[in-house]
Amino acid sequence: MGHHRPATRSKNKRSRPDDNADTTSEILGKILLNGEATEDDINQLYMILKPVCQGCRVNTKDNPNCFCGLIPPPNGSRKSGLWQKTSEIVNALGPDPSEDLRESFDAPAGLKNLGATCYANSILQCLFMNKSFRNGVFSIEPDVLKEQPVLDNLARLFAQLHSSNKAFVDPAPFIQSLELDNGVQQDGHEFLTLLLSLLERCLSQSKDAKARTIVQDLFRGGVSHTTRCSNCGNESEASSKIEDFYELELNVKGLKSLDESLDDLLSIEELEGDNQYLCEACVTRVNATRSIKLRSLPAVLNFQLKRCVFLPNTTMKKKITSAFYFPGELNMAQRLSEHSHKDLIYDLSAVLIHKGSAADSGHYTAHIKDENMGDWWEFDDEQVSKLGQQPFGGSASTREVKTAKNEPVDQSSSAKETMVHVDENNTDSGQLHLSDSNHNGHVKTFSSSDAYMLMYVRRQSKSGEATAGQSCETKIGINGPVYQQWTGSSLPSHLSEEVEKSNAMYLKSCEEYKSKKESELNCITERRQEVRSVLSEAPVQSLLKPYFWISTDWLRHWADSIIPANIDNTTIQCLHGKVPVSMTSYMKRLSAEAWTMLFSKYDGGPRLSKDDYCIDCIFELARTKARADSYRDQRSLMKELAEAALARECFDGRLFYISKTWLQQWLRRKNIESPCEADSGPTASIRCPHGELMPDLGPSAKRILVPENLWHFIHENAVVVKPDDDVGCSAFSSDSEPCALCSIELKEAVSSEDTLREFKLKQRQTHEKLAMNKNMALYQDSRYYLLPSSWLSKWRSYINASGKNVVSVELENLDSVVDMLMCKEVFHSFFHH
């Protein structure tokens, strides 16, 4: 004989609701019969005898001893509340300000992108990283700053970049003072030009000579547009006029290097043929030459690379993405109109990058050299990354690349070695070339397909004499403490105090967040331990031990809330202040130990103990159950009579009319234990406005005869539901006559409908093509009339509608509709002739 396997599938299997209902019905019947409820009856009605559940996936409603599913398993979590993941609880506290903490002042700070302000951020970082310009801004007098919002916000921004404890600074106040749209990206070159012009005007109010001319001293150079007569050699009067420039715009299309672009800029143009020059000295049109001459160069020399070209065929801009070579150092001595005998060396200090293939969109970043340490940094809005000793981080990732034979890297020789930096997107952001030069060393030449602007700074001479670009390097003398940081610059007191205050507030917010986070996590840990502890003590181990009832809803919220509310058992109380049987599925049976733990901490109530079952509610429920059983039995008998009536079976005795539709719906209802709203109005649809029987002509007035006992059952239940409903409960016996007035009205209506139907048929037959919206042939000798198309559409709908689609609205008079089409002058003339 084999052994039977244990029925593991039936472990903790829930009992069927029907079984519980049958048991409850039997117990209530016995209580009503005996007139008393025993302790065993109470235990069964309140389901106290059910076993304590273990391992249920969800909480069982019909077992007050089940505490499963109130909390997730040991390694589980929930989407919200006490048991959500710790990371989500921390996220609910908001962003951690310490994540923006500046790790070290060895690195520059970034600038927050306000939407589409990367172009402004890149330019601002280029200006800030220029020590001379930075010191010049810091030397502006407080009185001038108060009168010039742009200068004031720029100084504050530079001070934050200089000494803020944050890894990136918010430039919003400065951007707002310029009235820029954060959502619209602008051209970086245009922004720099406009910004320098604005700063030059604002700084003119300063009494500090160094601050007043800082823009001119650093960025302004001079050029002239020279026209020379090839016949007499005289230059035009305008040739002597020197124009200021803040950057030189260089062509890139068809050119490979900075040297080629400079040659193109300074090249001589021949004016011949139709383009001859009218020489003032020769007093005739002659051949001439035209060229740009560099008269003076600024300390900071900016080259604007014209990567965007206009396409006339498409009226669109296109970006030139060819590689462009530029040197790490540039000798401009031979480029001046009056050649300098001394070298005029400029060192590459910044490269503005425009990423993206489109000319009118993309992203701006800046690669800038730190003047003090010589390291290059990449500024990408909030992110600032160290590149090392090369502008494109060549030391980070290098590989050998063969240089094309026809692509010279330097004027003196070809490239010997190339190092290419590969960025995260596997695109060449820049190349480094080492070339022999005329300076007994190597000139580093770089190439980039995204370089948009190049910034060079004049090198200090060997004798130690500072160039114009470094004329502002002297320290700022101020009274009071000086805030010194990685830049080697110092802040004046009015700025350092503001930054220190801002830093103190920021560090305070970091500490507050840290404290709040620790407090929250400790609270969560303590609450989880408390819930597990209480639920482990919750089950009542013996019938002899005391217990208390508690609302399941409150218990569930308590087990899942970080900060629970006071105990609330009012939802499971009856009118007598006790616990009714009807609330058994909405409460749990709690041990005295667990109740004490909860009540001592959360107070509330009311306190509902073992003896607080409601005997009054038990007897009321028993009587209600008995009435329901009686109603169900009676309805079952009446249902048979109703089915027979609908089957047109003959009945003896007195008969009554009721609505056929109502009776059909009454039969469809199931599991009815007492009269409900649907039991009202059995004769409402067959009673006319005059209070008599409606003629049996309309679909809603269909009626049927039922026996007297079925009518009395239906009528009594309808009165119970709506005691004052005389209209819906009117009695019409089989000998009731239909309303005479309603009969006449219905007959007239039927006759009118027949007449209208004939009229529509005649219209359709007479104007068949017009009614069917078919094309009609037009003949020359025939007469035709104009009709409004809107009226014609309504006419078709009117005569073609039938059945439920009949249009009840009468058509407008055609004459009045046609009159509306005529203008007032024609209408007046037509009717007066």
pLDDT digits (tens, 9 = 90+) for 763-815: 777 787 787 888 878 887 888 877 788 888 888 887 787 765 555 566 777 77
| CA pair distance 705, 732, nearest whole angstrom | 10
pTM: 0.62
Asked if residues 454 and 303 have their Cβ atoms less than 8 Å apart, the reply is: yes
Asked if residues 238 and 282 have their Cβ atoms less than 8 Å apart, the reply is: no
Which residue bears the tokens 């009067």? 237
Residue 554 has pLDDT above 70, yes or no: yes
Q: How confident is the model at residue 482 (pLDDT cuts 50, 70, 90)?
A: very low
| Averaged pLDDT score across all residues of the chain | 81
Report how far apart, in Å, the C-alpha atoms of 227 and of each of 267, 268, 400, 466, 636 are: 12, 10, 47, 35, 116
The pLDDT of residue 432 is 52
User: Annotated catalytic residue: which of 363, 494, 557, 767?
Assistant: 363
**What is the distance between the terminal CA atoms of the chain, rounded to a whole angstrom?**
121
The pLDDT of residue 414 is 31
Asked if residues 373 and 108 have their Cβ atoms less than 8 Å apart, the reply is: no
The pLDDT of residue 786 is 78
Asked if residues 337 and 294 have their Cβ atoms less than 8 Å apart, the reply is: yes
The pLDDT of residue 128 is 93
Position with higher pLDDT, 306 vs 4: 306
The three-class DSSP label of residue 170 is coil
DSSP annotation string for 564-608: PPPEE-GGG--TTSSB-GGGGGGEEEEEHHHHHHHHHHH-EE--E
In sequence order, the 6+-apart residues with CB closer than 8 A to the CB of 362 are 185, 319, 354, 355, 356
Q: Is 363 part of the annotated catalytic residue set?
A: yes
**226-240, 491-505, 583-597, 688-702: least confidently modelled range:** 688-702
The phi, psi pair for 815, rounded to 5°, reads: -60, -45
Residue 403 has pLDDT above 50, yes or no: no
Asked if residues 703 and 696 have their Cβ atoms less than 8 Å apart, the reply is: yes
Neighbouring CB atoms inside 10 A of 729's CB total 21
The pLDDT of residue 699 is 58
Asked if residues 811 and 795 have their Cβ atoms less than 8 Å apart, the reply is: yes
| CA pair distance 308, 548, nearest whole angstrom | 81
DSSP annotation string for 125-155: HHHHT-HHHHHHHHTS-HHHHHH-HHHHHHH
Q: Is 118 part of the annotated catalytic residue set?
A: yes
Position with higher pLDDT, 107 vs 341: 107
* Proportion of the chain above pLDDT 70, given as a percent: 84
Asked if residues 131 and 138 have their Cβ atoms less than 8 Å apart, the reply is: no
Asked if residues 457 and 130 have their Cβ atoms less than 8 Å apart, the reply is: yes
pLDDT digits (tens, 9 = 90+) for 189-198: 788 888 899 9
Q: What is the mean pLDDT of residues 635-655?
A: 87
In sequence order, the 6+-apart residues with CB closer than 8 A to the CB of 184 are 116
pLDDT digits (tens, 9 = 90+) for 225-250: 998 998 888 888 788 888 999 999 99
Residue 575 has pLDDT above 70, yes or no: yes
Q: Are strands 428-436 and 442-448 parallel, antiparallel or unpaired?
A: antiparallel
Q: How confident is the model at residue 464 (pLDDT cuts 50, 70, 90)?
A: very low
pLDDT digits (tens, 9 = 90+) for 802-822: 765 555 566 777 777 777 777
Asked if residues 257 and 431 have their Cβ atoms less than 8 Å apart, the reply is: no
The phi, psi pair for 792, rounded to 5°, reads: -65, -40
pLDDT digits (tens, 9 = 90+) for 120-152: 899 999 999 999 999 999 999 999 999 999 999
The pLDDT of residue 828 is 53
Q: Are strands 168-169 and 110-111 parallel, antiparallel or unpaired?
A: parallel
Token code pair at residue 744 = 């006449």
Token code pair at residue 369 = 């050299």
Q: How confident is the model at residue 359 (pLDDT cuts 50, 70, 90)?
A: low
| CA pair distance 207, 197, nearest whole angstrom | 18
The pLDDT of residue 807 is 52
User: Annotated catalytic residue: which of 118, 279, 308, 614?
Assistant: 118
The pLDDT of residue 819 is 73
Q: Which of 96, 100, 93, 135 has the alpha carbon at shortest distance from 503?
A: 100
Token code pair at residue 402 = 């063969």
Q: What is the mean pLDDT of residues 267-294?
A: 88
Which residue bears the tokens 């003072």? 177
Q: What is the mean pLDDT of residues 422-435?
A: 46
Q: What is the mean pLDDT of residues 515-537?
A: 93
The pLDDT of residue 280 is 84
The three-class DSSP label of residue 100 is helix
Which residue bears the tokens 């009815």? 672
Q: How confident is the model at residue 393 (pLDDT cuts 50, 70, 90)?
A: confident
Mind listing the domains of the chain with CATH numbers? 225-473 (3.90.70.10), 654-742 (no CATH), 767-830 (no CATH)
Q: How confident is the model at residue 738 (pLDDT cuts 50, 70, 90)?
A: confident
Q: Is 577 exposed, middle or buried (0-12, 13-18, 19+ CB in 10 A)?
A: exposed
Position with higher pLDDT, 310 vs 294: 294
Question: Per-residue b/e over 380-412, b at no fewer than 16 CB within 10 Å?
Answer: bbbebeebeebbbbbeeebeeeebeeeebbbee
